[in-house]
């Protein structure tokens, strides 16, 4: 008998004595739970939804404090699964209030007749995986137990309020309220002295309204937060027109966007804009009253680069100072300890202006921490405040609390989820956990969740989960469980994504920092909604990669592996290149390929400003060669790095690696001279090698004229340029100078054999292909010459070379010859450091400001150059060190 039939019969007779048998049990009747129930039913599953509250609504059921609203525009914060539902409901405001959102969710529950399968007032007290039955057994505090095949947590991310962690709350004789558990019939504050503790989104929304009603309001602030005016009103006409003009396209764009709201991706970086242009963009964003807009539409580097972020943060600070009249209060309200957006920014209505009211005071807890709550109020270490009411707006045990705090969950072999997550949440895709078959989380830790428009993320998760379990059922499988490999791979990918954005630089509930003793780490997925969706789809496309599927009627299936091994931004770049369907570069002919590269380079971000960029001509092996010189903004003279560009001895020129030269110039505080050496096929081997050496000699001889410090040079190069740099060092040693203090070789060509594993593993899919390398070699060097150390330096004498830093990338055909060269030099007694960059491809480090995850590597390279020159490392705050690739 199908489980659905058993279930419907069982649910009719559900009583505390019997067990309700269903295919799926869902916990939580908020946005996620309601849509789940609808989708499960439509897919033919029997389901029950267990909800502690007395009605639907989830977070919108509990958070009834004054001023509670959504902070994503409500037309975006809505279901999109049913076009008829969309047109059946009209939002009255740009940011709907809690009562209106609650009405909407009630409307949805009625429209799809969901309440008949919801057990309200029912708290789950335990959930255990029953290995023999291959089912979850669930106990509740009200009514029948539940036995289900699939157990799905739709518990939300911010539903377990955090205890106040302040002594003496029980002593207080006045009224105490928590914003997250606000009384349904409201609270009368008129004529009362009120204290609010906490200035996150809840506090910031509630404070202006409480101030209007209370006789006196004292706000206790630990950390000031960035808040922007919501400019609430009716839904903006332009957004509404965009939605109604083409609803399907609007929603589709939201699903592919980074934050789940259909704004285009910004490509202009801050230093491409003048001060006036930046201010204009900022004022537009300030007036727009939209968090996602200001977080994504100003300039592309604001969320990923501290310098780009500081510009917007400073402009907001200026606004705060402009609104708050008392300078001391303004200073206390101004955030300084985190980048804008790294902690959840808030949307407000008259928040800062509220502090100009005579009945409002701010207590800066950084200057006078709370000592205790007393019978009559709050005592700091300096003063006592007598109050009638204390409002705790102190937040939640976010993301994990919502799942762990609900009840004990025990998986396979009696493993408790709380133990498995003791050091922080471990998940695969944020949806599943190894060791917990058929357990799913909607917007769990490891998914974009709170960094996205929840409505969009929820629909994607629910669709993915329900589609998967329906497909399993149809294929005869009964269980699905993430593998340890897949889960560990996801943790690595999460960490890679976290190094992309600035979220890691703030102590927030995103990282668990708001709960004493909680394991720390960025919990939501920072790689974006669109990329996340494509990864989930890829898991399916690759045969449920990373899942073990079992069932009595089917042979076990497990395609084990890690779904993303590339760095997140490298994955995006390669995806974009693949989508362009370009013909192979080697099919374009030398001139065609050069034109293509020039055109391609026009689309990349400009390099960052340096002190000066100039052009000149030097003497190469057989005549003049152009060069480009990058000078730091600091007073000279500076050490000089001779740089050789990439391009397979065929493509590129002295300015084709412009952003990289600027980056290294800024980070090393050295002059970079990028040499325009001769190219094949017009000038074949050994033209490039001899030019490299001759140019280095010329630069050494003219160092003072170039503004350089006397003393040894440094050489650097990427790809074929790395080859020329390596060869130059050998020639300089053998031909009596010039003196070279160190060599930086980035993905260098070092040898003429093509059968190392990296040439085979990375032959086709990572932009620099084996075919392209063959073509470069053919144009530059005849087979008979290829073992000459001037093109295969690995075959030369290696003792006595300058100290080296060798960078290789995991997904690069040249990886293994770079490593071989580093190892061979080290064996010959040369001081060598290696960076084996995991998840990177051949162009990762020269795609400055595109491959953001390359920053850490570029810092390491710049530090190496400075070390070779006897200078201390660069002083900027460094992101975490790049980890070596597993061999
Ligand atoms: P948040 O954003 O976590 O804010 C909580 C606030 O309470 C924050 O200002 C905290 O300061 C403060 N806090 C927490 N504990 C204490 C103690 N013990 N003493 C003093 N101050 C304290 O929660 P919200 O409810 O406002 O918002 C949650 C999310 O809901 C929001 O981001 C939106 O996504 C919707 P801290 O910053 O930790 O120093």
Average pLDDT over the chain reads 94
810: helix, coil or strand?
strand
397 CA from centroid of ligand 1 (Å): 10
Does a cis peptide bond (omega within 30 degrees of 0) precede residue 745?
A: no
CA dist., res. 661 & res. 638, Å (int)? 15
Q: Which atom of ligand 1 is nearest to the CA of 513?
A: 38
Q: Which atom of ligand 1 is nearest to the CA of 198?
A: 7
Q: Which atom of ligand 1 is nearest to the CA of 450?
A: 34
CA dist., res. 811 & res. 565, Å (int)? 9
Report the pLDDT averaged over residues 761-789: 97
The values of phi and psi at residue 307, to 5°, are -70, -45
| DSSP conformational letter for 177 | E
Residue 711 near residue 637 (C-beta atoms within 8 A): no
Ligand 1 site, residue 199, Cβ cutoff 6 A:
yes
How confident is the model at residue 192, as a pLDDT?
98
53 CA from centroid of ligand 1 (Å): 23
How confident is the model at residue 243, as a pLDDT?
96
Closest CA to 238 of 287, 279, 299, 296: 287
Ligand 1 site, residue 69, Cβ cutoff 6 A:
no
Residue 632 near residue 670 (C-beta atoms within 8 A): yes
Report the pLDDT averaged over residues 82-98: 97
Q: What is the pLDDT of residues 810-844, one digit of tens each?
A: 999 999 999 999 999 999 999 999 999 999 999 99
Report the pLDDT averaged over residues 113-118: 98
841: helix, coil or strand?
strand
Instruction: Write the secondary structure of 209-222 as one string of H (helix), E (strand) and C (coil).
Output: HHHHHECEEEEEEC
Greatest Cα-to-Cα distance within the chain, rounded to the nearest angstrom: 95
How confident is the model at residue 6, as a pLDDT?
35
- Confidence check: pLDDT of 190 > 60: yes
How confident is the model at residue 189, as a pLDDT?
97
Residue 455 near residue 260 (C-beta atoms within 8 A): yes
Report the residue among 395, 457, 507 best suited for mutation to probe ligand 1: largest number of ligand atoms under 8 A from its CB: 395
Closest C-alpha residue for ligand 1 atom 2: 200
How confident is the model at residue 203, as a pLDDT?
98
Using 50, 70 and 90 to split pLDDT, how confident is the model at 875? low
- Confidence check: pLDDT of 878 > 90: no
Report the pLDDT averaged over residues 167-175: 94
Ligand 1 site, residue 202, Cβ cutoff 6 A:
yes
- Confidence check: pLDDT of 269 > 80: yes
Ligand 1 site, residue 70, Cβ cutoff 6 A:
no
- 377-404 residues labelled b (16+ CB within 10 A) or e (exposed): bbbbeeeebebbbbbbbbbbbbbbbbbb
| DSSP conformational letter for 78 | S
198 CA from centroid of ligand 1 (Å): 5
Considering only 167-171, 352-356, 745-749, 829-833, which range has the smallest mean pLDDT? 167-171
How confident is the model at residue 876, as a pLDDT?
56
Using 50, 70 and 90 to split pLDDT, how confident is the model at 600? confident
Closest CA to 393 of 212, 569, 207: 207
- Confidence check: pLDDT of 430 > 70: yes
Contacts of 283 (CB under 8 A, 6+ apart): none
- 338-370 residues labelled b (16+ CB within 10 A) or e (exposed): bbbbbbbbbbbbbbbbbbeeeebbbbbbeeeeb
189 CA from centroid of ligand 1 (Å): 22
Whole-number CA gyration radius for the chain? 31
194 CA from centroid of ligand 1 (Å): 18
497 CA from centroid of ligand 1 (Å): 25
How confident is the model at residue 5, as a pLDDT?
36
Beta-bridge partners for 362: 219
CA dist., res. 448 & res. 465, Å (int)? 16
Using 50, 70 and 90 to split pLDDT, how confident is the model at 603? confident
- Confidence check: pLDDT of 523 > 80: yes
Report the pLDDT averaged over residues 763-772: 96
Ligand 1 site, residue 156, Cβ cutoff 6 A:
no
- Confidence check: pLDDT of 861 > 80: yes
Q: What is the pLDDT of residues 278-313, one digit of tens each?
A: 999 999 999 999 999 999 999 999 999 999 999 999
Report the residue among 222, 341, 451 best suited for mutation to probe ligand 1: largest number of ligand atoms under 8 A from its CB: 222
- Whole-number percent of the chain with pLDDT over 90: 88
| Residue 562: alpha-carbon gap to chain centroid | 18
392 CA from centroid of ligand 1 (Å): 9
370: helix, coil or strand?
strand
- Find the helix or strand (DSSP H, E) in which 32 lies: helix 31-42
290 CA from centroid of ligand 1 (Å): 21
- Confidence check: pLDDT of 883 > 90: no
Q: Which atom of ligand 1 is nearest to the CA of 199?
A: 9
Burial grade of 770 (CB within 10 A; 0-12, 13-18, 19 or more): middle
DSSP codes, 660-710: HHHHHHHHHTSEEEEE----TTTS-TTHHHHHHHHHHHHHHHTTTTTTBPS
Ligand 1 site, residue 394, Cβ cutoff 6 A:
yes
Q: What is the pLDDT of residues 672-683, one digit of tens each?
A: 999 999 999 999
CA dist., res. 724 & res. 716, Å (int)? 9
The answer to whether the Cα torsion of 358, 360, 365, 369 is positive or negative is positive
Q: Which atom of ligand 1 is nearest to the CA of 392?
A: 7
Q: What angle do CA 146, 147, 151 make, to 5 degrees?
A: 90
- Confidence check: pLDDT of 56 > 90: yes
Closest C-alpha residue for ligand 1 atom 37: 223
Q: What is the pLDDT of residues 356-413, one digit of tens each?
A: 999 999 999 999 999 999 999 999 999 999 999 999 999 988 878 878 766 899 999 9
How many other C-beta atoms can be found within 10 angstroms of the C-beta atom of residue 654? 22
Ligand 1 site, residue 364, Cβ cutoff 6 A:
no
880 CA from centroid of ligand 1 (Å): 27
How confident is the model at residue 670, as a pLDDT?
97
Q: Copy the structure tokens of residue 433.
A: 């956990």
295 CA from centroid of ligand 1 (Å): 20
How confident is the model at residue 163, as a pLDDT?
82
């Amino acid at each position: 008998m199908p489980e659905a039939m058993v279930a419907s019969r069982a649910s009719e007779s559900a009583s505390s004595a019997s067990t309700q048998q269903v295919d799926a049990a869902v916990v939580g009747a908020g946005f996620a739970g309601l849509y789940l129930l609808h989708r499960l039913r439509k897919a033919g599953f029997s389901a029950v939804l267990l909800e502690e509250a007395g009605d639907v609504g989830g977070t919108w059921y509990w958070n009834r404090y004054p001023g509670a609203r959504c902070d994503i525009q409500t037309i975006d914060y809505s279901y999109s699964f049913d076009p008829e539902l969309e047109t059946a409901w009209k939002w009255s405001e740009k940011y709907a209030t809690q009562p209106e959102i609650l009405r909407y969710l009630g409307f949805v529950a009625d429209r799809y007749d969901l309440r008949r399968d919801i057990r309200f007032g029912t708290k789950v007290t335990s959930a255990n995986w029953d290995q023999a039955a291959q089912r979850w057994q669930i106990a509740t505090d009200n009514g029948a137990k539940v036995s289900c095949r699939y157990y799905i947590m739709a518990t939300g991310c911010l539903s377990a309020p955090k205890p106040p962690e302040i002594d003496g709350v029980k002593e207080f004789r006045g009224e105490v309220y928590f914003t997250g558990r606000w009384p349904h019939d409201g609270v009368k504050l008129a004529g009362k002295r009120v204290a609010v503790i906490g200035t996150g989104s809840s506090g910031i929304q509630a404070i202006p309204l409480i101030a209007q009603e209370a006789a006196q309001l004292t706000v206790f602030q630990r950390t000031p937060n960035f808040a922007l005016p919501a400019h609430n009103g009716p839904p903006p006409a332009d957004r509404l027109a965009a939605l109604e003009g083409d609803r399907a396209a609007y929603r589709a764009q939201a699903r592919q966007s980074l934050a789940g709201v259909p704004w285009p991706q910004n490509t202009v970086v801050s230093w491409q804009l003048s001060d006036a242009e930046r201010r204009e963009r900022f004022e537009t964003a300030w007036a727009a009253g939209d968090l996602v807009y200001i977080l994504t539409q100003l300039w592309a580097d604001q969320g990923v680069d501290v310098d780009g972020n500081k510009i917007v943060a400073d402009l907001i600070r200026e606004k705060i100072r402009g609104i708050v009249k008392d300078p001391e209060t303004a200073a206390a309200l101004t955030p300084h300890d985190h980048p804008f957006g790294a902690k959840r920014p808030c949307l407000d209505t008259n928040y800062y202006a509220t502090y100009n009211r005579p009945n409002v005071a701010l207590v800066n807890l950084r200057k006078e921490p709370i000592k205790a709550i007393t019978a009559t109020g709050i005592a700091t270490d300096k003063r006592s405040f007598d109050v009638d009411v204390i409002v705790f707006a102190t937040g939640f045990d976010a993301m994990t609390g919502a799942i762990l705090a609900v009840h004990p969950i025990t998986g396979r072999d009696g493993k408790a989820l709380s133990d498995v997550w003791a050091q922080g949440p471990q998940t695969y895709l944020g949806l599943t956990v190894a060791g917990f078959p058929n357990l799913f989380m909607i917007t769990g830790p490891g998914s974009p969740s709170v960094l996205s428009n929840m409505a969009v993320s929820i629909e994607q998760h629910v669709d993915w989960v329900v589609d998967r379990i329906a497909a399993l059922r149809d294929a005869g499988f009964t269980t699905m469980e993430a593998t340890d490999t897949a889960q560990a791979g996801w943790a690595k990918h999460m960490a890679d994504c976290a190094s992309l954005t600035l979220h890691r630089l703030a102590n927030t509930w995103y990282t668990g920092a708001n709960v004493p003793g909680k394991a720390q780490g960025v919990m939501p997925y920072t790689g974006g909604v669109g990329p996340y969706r494509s990864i989930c789809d890829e898991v399916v496309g690759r045969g449920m990669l990373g899942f073990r599927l079992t069932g009595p009627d089917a042979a076990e299936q497990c395609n084990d592996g890690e779904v993303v091994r590339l760095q997140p931004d490298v994955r995006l770049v390669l995806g974009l290149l693949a989508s362009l369907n370009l013909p192979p570069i080697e099919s374009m002919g030398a001139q065609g390929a050069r034109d293509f590269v020039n055109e391609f380079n026009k689309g990349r971000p400009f390099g960052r400003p340096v002190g000066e960029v100039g052009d000149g001509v030097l003497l190469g092996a057989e005549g003049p060669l152009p060069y480009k010189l990058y000078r730091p903004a600091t007073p000279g003279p500076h050490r000089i790095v001779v740089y050789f560009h990439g391009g397979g001895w065929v493509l590129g020129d002295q300015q084709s690696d412009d952003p990289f030269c600027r980056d290294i110039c800024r980070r090393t505080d050295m002059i970079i001279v990028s040499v325009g050496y001769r190219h094949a096929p017009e000038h074949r081997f050994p033209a490039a090698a001899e030019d490299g050496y001759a140019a280095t000699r010329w630069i050494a001889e003219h160092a003072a004229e170039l503004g350089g410090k006397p003393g040894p040079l440094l050489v650097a190069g990427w790809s074929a340029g790395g080859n020329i740099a390596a060869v130059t060092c050998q020639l300089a040693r053998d031909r009596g100078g010039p003196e070279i203090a160190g060599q930086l070789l980035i993905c260098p060509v070092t040898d003429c054999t093509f059968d190392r594993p990296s040439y085979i593993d990375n032959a086709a899919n990572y932009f620099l292909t084996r075919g392209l390398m063959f073509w470069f070699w053919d144009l530059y060097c005849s087979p008979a010459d290829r073992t000459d150390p001037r093109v295969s330096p690995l075959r030369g004498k290696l003792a006595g070379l300058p100290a080296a830093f060798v960078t290789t990338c995991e997904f690069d055909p040249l990886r293994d010859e770079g490593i071989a060269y580093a190892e061979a030099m080290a064996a010959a007694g040369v001081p060598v450091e290696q960076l084996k960059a995991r998840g990177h491809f051949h162009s990762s480090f020269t795609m400055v400001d595109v491959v953001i995850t390359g920053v850490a590597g570029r810092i390491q390279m710049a530090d190496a150059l400075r070390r070779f020159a006897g200078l201390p490392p660069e002083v900027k705050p460094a992101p975490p060190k790049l980890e070596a690739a597993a061999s």
